Amino acid sequence: MASKVTAPLFAADGAANGDVTLAPAFFGIEPNIPVMHQVVTAQLAAARAGTHSTKTRSEVRGGGRKPWRQKGLGRARHGSIRSPIWVGGGVAHGPKPRDYSQRTPKKMKQLAIRSALSARAGDGQVRVVEDLAWPEPKTNRARELFEKIGAGPKVLVILSPADETAYLSMRNLPTVITNDSGQLNTYDVVWADTIVFTSETLDLVTGAAGYEVSESDFVKDEPGSPVEDDEASEDGEG
Protein backbone atom coordinates (compact mmCIF):
# COMPACT_ATOMS: atom_id res chain seq x y z
CA MET A 1 0.00 0.00 0.00
CA ALA A 2 1.29 3.44 -0.89
CA SER A 3 2.12 5.87 1.84
CA LYS A 4 0.65 9.36 1.77
CA VAL A 5 2.80 11.80 -0.20
CA THR A 6 2.42 15.56 0.21
CA ALA A 7 4.13 18.66 -1.14
CA PRO A 8 4.15 22.22 0.20
CA LEU A 9 1.69 24.61 -1.41
CA PHE A 10 2.58 28.26 -2.05
CA ALA A 11 0.83 31.38 -3.28
CA ALA A 12 2.06 33.26 -6.35
CA ASP A 13 4.16 35.56 -4.14
CA GLY A 14 5.87 32.63 -2.40
CA ALA A 15 3.81 32.69 0.82
CA ALA A 16 3.29 29.24 2.35
CA ASN A 17 -0.28 28.01 2.11
CA GLY A 18 -0.32 24.55 3.64
CA ASP A 19 0.26 21.22 1.89
CA VAL A 20 -1.26 19.43 -1.06
CA THR A 21 -1.65 15.67 -1.35
CA LEU A 22 0.10 14.16 -4.39
CA ALA A 23 -1.28 11.27 -6.40
CA PRO A 24 0.40 8.07 -5.12
CA ALA A 25 0.39 6.52 -8.60
CA PHE A 26 2.68 9.32 -9.83
CA PHE A 27 4.60 10.39 -6.72
CA GLY A 28 4.49 7.39 -4.38
CA ILE A 29 5.87 4.39 -6.25
CA GLU A 30 9.22 2.71 -5.71
CA PRO A 31 11.65 4.31 -8.23
CA ASN A 32 12.73 1.82 -10.87
CA ILE A 33 16.33 2.88 -11.45
CA PRO A 34 17.16 0.51 -14.38
CA VAL A 35 14.10 1.68 -16.32
CA MET A 36 14.95 5.32 -15.64
CA HIS A 37 18.51 4.75 -16.86
CA GLN A 38 17.37 3.06 -20.06
CA VAL A 39 14.83 5.78 -20.87
CA VAL A 40 17.30 8.61 -20.19
CA THR A 41 19.94 6.87 -22.33
CA ALA A 42 17.44 6.50 -25.17
CA GLN A 43 16.40 10.15 -24.86
CA LEU A 44 20.01 11.38 -25.05
CA ALA A 45 20.71 9.05 -27.96
CA ALA A 46 17.70 10.36 -29.88
CA ALA A 47 19.01 13.90 -29.45
CA ARG A 48 22.20 13.08 -31.36
CA ALA A 49 22.25 14.44 -34.90
CA GLY A 50 24.21 11.48 -36.26
CA THR A 51 25.58 13.61 -39.11
CA HIS A 52 29.30 13.05 -38.44
CA SER A 53 31.10 11.48 -41.37
CA THR A 54 34.65 10.55 -42.41
CA LYS A 55 36.02 9.45 -45.78
CA THR A 56 37.38 6.00 -46.46
CA ARG A 57 40.41 5.37 -48.68
CA SER A 58 38.07 5.00 -51.66
CA GLU A 59 36.59 8.47 -51.11
CA VAL A 60 39.65 10.68 -50.55
CA ARG A 61 41.35 12.42 -53.45
CA GLY A 62 44.46 11.00 -55.14
CA GLY A 63 46.25 7.69 -54.79
CA GLY A 64 45.72 6.53 -58.35
CA ARG A 65 49.19 5.10 -58.81
CA LYS A 66 51.64 3.11 -56.77
CA PRO A 67 53.98 5.60 -55.02
CA TRP A 68 57.13 3.56 -55.82
CA ARG A 69 57.99 0.17 -57.16
CA GLN A 70 57.46 -2.91 -55.01
CA LYS A 71 61.08 -3.99 -54.54
CA GLY A 72 64.62 -2.73 -54.75
CA LEU A 73 64.49 0.63 -52.94
CA GLY A 74 64.86 -0.58 -49.36
CA ARG A 75 61.62 1.09 -48.34
CA ALA A 76 58.41 -0.42 -47.15
CA ARG A 77 56.03 -1.49 -49.88
CA HIS A 78 52.96 0.68 -50.49
CA GLY A 79 50.21 0.54 -53.02
CA SER A 80 48.52 3.92 -52.49
CA ILE A 81 49.20 7.21 -50.71
CA ARG A 82 45.55 7.15 -49.58
CA SER A 83 46.07 4.22 -47.24
CA PRO A 84 44.90 4.92 -43.66
CA ILE A 85 48.53 4.83 -42.45
CA TRP A 86 49.46 7.79 -44.66
CA VAL A 87 48.92 11.41 -43.68
CA GLY A 88 45.94 12.63 -45.68
CA GLY A 89 44.77 9.11 -46.30
CA GLY A 90 41.37 7.65 -45.65
CA VAL A 91 40.01 6.81 -42.20
CA ALA A 92 39.64 3.17 -41.26
CA HIS A 93 36.39 2.29 -39.48
CA GLY A 94 35.50 5.97 -39.02
CA PRO A 95 32.02 7.28 -38.19
CA LYS A 96 29.37 7.51 -40.88
CA PRO A 97 25.93 9.14 -40.74
CA ARG A 98 23.57 6.98 -38.69
CA ASP A 99 20.42 7.09 -36.62
CA TYR A 100 21.17 6.72 -32.90
CA SER A 101 17.55 6.61 -31.75
CA GLN A 102 16.41 3.63 -29.71
CA ARG A 103 12.95 2.17 -29.54
CA THR A 104 11.51 2.57 -26.05
CA PRO A 105 8.09 1.09 -25.20
CA LYS A 106 5.49 3.64 -24.14
CA LYS A 107 4.80 1.90 -20.84
CA MET A 108 8.50 1.97 -20.01
CA LYS A 109 8.59 5.74 -20.55
CA GLN A 110 5.55 6.18 -18.33
CA LEU A 111 7.05 4.04 -15.56
CA ALA A 112 10.32 5.97 -15.82
CA ILE A 113 8.70 9.40 -15.45
CA ARG A 114 6.63 8.22 -12.49
CA SER A 115 9.74 6.73 -10.91
CA ALA A 116 11.63 10.01 -11.35
CA LEU A 117 8.75 12.05 -9.91
CA SER A 118 8.47 9.65 -6.97
CA ALA A 119 12.19 9.96 -6.28
CA ARG A 120 11.95 13.75 -6.18
CA ALA A 121 8.81 13.65 -4.04
CA GLY A 122 10.48 11.21 -1.67
CA ASP A 123 13.36 13.68 -1.25
CA GLY A 124 10.91 16.53 -0.56
CA GLN A 125 11.84 18.37 -3.75
CA VAL A 126 8.37 18.89 -5.23
CA ARG A 127 6.70 22.29 -4.87
CA VAL A 128 3.22 23.42 -5.92
CA VAL A 129 2.31 27.05 -6.62
CA GLU A 130 -1.36 27.93 -6.73
CA ASP A 131 -1.20 30.35 -9.63
CA LEU A 132 1.44 32.13 -11.71
CA ALA A 133 -0.79 34.74 -13.35
CA TRP A 134 1.64 37.61 -12.86
CA PRO A 135 0.63 41.00 -14.32
CA GLU A 136 3.91 41.52 -16.19
CA PRO A 137 7.08 39.52 -16.85
CA LYS A 138 9.91 40.21 -14.39
CA THR A 139 12.91 37.95 -13.89
CA ASN A 140 13.46 39.23 -10.34
CA ARG A 141 9.96 38.14 -9.37
CA ALA A 142 10.70 34.61 -10.54
CA ARG A 143 14.05 34.60 -8.74
CA GLU A 144 12.43 35.76 -5.50
CA LEU A 145 9.73 33.10 -5.82
CA PHE A 146 12.30 30.31 -6.08
CA GLU A 147 14.16 31.67 -3.06
CA LYS A 148 11.00 31.82 -0.94
CA ILE A 149 9.84 28.32 -1.79
CA GLY A 150 13.30 26.86 -1.15
CA ALA A 151 13.94 25.60 -4.67
CA GLY A 152 17.33 24.04 -5.41
CA PRO A 153 19.93 25.44 -7.82
CA LYS A 154 18.44 23.59 -10.82
CA VAL A 155 14.68 23.99 -11.16
CA LEU A 156 12.16 22.43 -13.53
CA VAL A 157 8.90 24.38 -13.77
CA ILE A 158 5.85 22.79 -15.37
CA LEU A 159 3.66 25.49 -16.92
CA SER A 160 0.42 25.59 -18.86
CA PRO A 161 -0.05 27.51 -22.14
CA ALA A 162 -1.81 30.28 -20.16
CA ASP A 163 1.33 30.94 -18.07
CA GLU A 164 3.03 33.03 -20.75
CA THR A 165 4.02 35.78 -18.32
CA ALA A 166 5.65 33.28 -15.98
CA TYR A 167 7.55 31.73 -18.89
CA LEU A 168 8.89 35.14 -19.95
CA SER A 169 9.92 35.82 -16.34
CA MET A 170 11.87 32.57 -16.01
CA ARG A 171 13.46 32.08 -19.42
CA ASN A 172 16.52 34.22 -18.63
CA LEU A 173 17.45 32.24 -15.52
CA PRO A 174 20.28 29.90 -16.60
CA THR A 175 19.47 27.08 -14.17
CA VAL A 176 15.71 27.04 -14.72
CA ILE A 177 13.93 24.93 -17.33
CA THR A 178 10.28 25.56 -18.17
CA ASN A 179 8.24 22.84 -19.78
CA ASP A 180 4.68 22.13 -20.80
CA SER A 181 2.78 19.48 -18.85
CA GLY A 182 2.47 17.40 -22.01
CA GLN A 183 6.25 17.50 -22.57
CA LEU A 184 7.31 16.32 -19.12
CA ASN A 185 10.14 13.83 -19.52
CA THR A 186 12.42 11.71 -17.36
CA TYR A 187 15.68 13.46 -18.25
CA ASP A 188 14.45 16.90 -17.16
CA VAL A 189 13.12 15.52 -13.87
CA VAL A 190 16.39 13.70 -13.15
CA TRP A 191 18.39 16.81 -14.08
CA ALA A 192 16.47 19.16 -11.80
CA ASP A 193 16.95 19.48 -8.06
CA THR A 194 13.41 20.82 -7.54
CA ILE A 195 10.21 20.29 -9.52
CA VAL A 196 7.66 23.12 -9.41
CA PHE A 197 4.07 22.57 -10.53
CA THR A 198 1.14 24.93 -10.64
CA SER A 199 -2.19 23.66 -9.33
CA GLU A 200 -3.40 23.41 -12.92
CA THR A 201 -0.42 21.53 -14.33
CA LEU A 202 -0.36 19.15 -11.36
CA ASP A 203 -3.93 18.15 -12.19
CA LEU A 204 -3.03 17.80 -15.88
CA VAL A 205 -0.04 15.56 -15.16
CA THR A 206 -1.77 13.31 -12.65
CA GLY A 207 -4.86 13.06 -14.83
CA ALA A 208 -2.90 11.63 -17.76
CA ALA A 209 -3.77 8.08 -18.72
CA GLY A 210 -1.14 5.45 -19.47
CA TYR A 211 0.88 3.06 -17.35
CA GLU A 212 -1.24 1.33 -14.72
CA VAL A 213 0.71 0.86 -11.53
CA SER A 214 0.54 -2.39 -9.60
CA GLU A 215 0.82 -3.05 -5.89
CA SER A 216 4.51 -3.95 -6.33
CA ASP A 217 5.29 -0.47 -7.68
CA PHE A 218 4.41 1.32 -4.46
CA VAL A 219 6.82 2.19 -1.68
CA LYS A 220 6.54 -0.35 1.09
CA ASP A 221 5.87 0.92 4.61
CA GLU A 222 8.56 -0.08 7.08
CA PRO A 223 7.58 -2.38 9.99
CA GLY A 224 6.50 -0.37 13.00
CA SER A 225 5.65 2.70 10.90
CA PRO A 226 2.83 5.01 12.07
CA VAL A 227 0.61 3.73 9.25
CA GLU A 228 0.91 0.12 10.40
CA ASP A 229 0.49 1.12 14.05
CA ASP A 230 -2.74 2.97 13.21
CA GLU A 231 -4.08 -0.01 11.29
CA ALA A 232 -3.20 -2.35 14.15
CA SER A 233 -4.98 -0.12 16.68
CA GLU A 234 -8.08 0.03 14.49
CA ASP A 235 -8.13 -3.76 14.24
CA GLY A 236 -7.81 -4.01 18.03
CA GLU A 237 -10.70 -1.65 18.59
CA GLY A 238 -12.90 -3.63 16.28
Nearest to 51 by CA among 94, 91, 97: 97
Rg for the chain (alpha carbons), in Å? 28
Of 1-15, 59-73, 104-118, 136-150, which range is least confident? 1-15
Q: Which CATH number fits domain 5-46+102-237: 3.40.630.10, 3.40.1370.10, 1.10.8.60, 3.20.20.150?
A: 3.40.1370.10
Nearest to 117 by CA among 181, 41, 162: 181
Per-residue pLDDT tens digits for 175-230: 999 999 889 999 999 999 999 999 999 999 987 655 565 666 666 555 555 444 55
pTM of the model: 0.76
Of all residues in the chain, what percent carry a pLDDT higher than 70?
86
With bands split at pLDDT 50, 70 and 90, how would you rate the model's confidence at 128? very high
Q: Enumerate the β-bridge partners of residue 20.
A: 7
CATH 3.40.1370.10 in the chain, residue ranges: 5-46+102-237
Using CB atoms within 10 A of its CB, is residue 199 exposed (0-12), middle (13-18) or buried (19+)? middle
pLDDT number for residue 28: 92
pLDDT number for residue 4: 80
Q: Angle at CA 126, nearest 5°, toward 155 and 43?
A: 60
CA atoms within 13 A on the CB side of 119: 17
With bands split at pLDDT 50, 70 and 90, how would you rate the model's confidence at 1? very low
Region 86-93: mean pLDDT is 94
Where b means 16+ CB within 10 Å and e means fewer, 9-22 reads bbeeebeeeeebeb
For the chain, the average pLDDT equals 87
Q: How many helices (H) and strands (E) does the chain have?
A: 8, 6
Is 54 a residue whose pLDDT tops 80? yes
Nearest to 218 by CA among 131, 109, 60, 111: 111
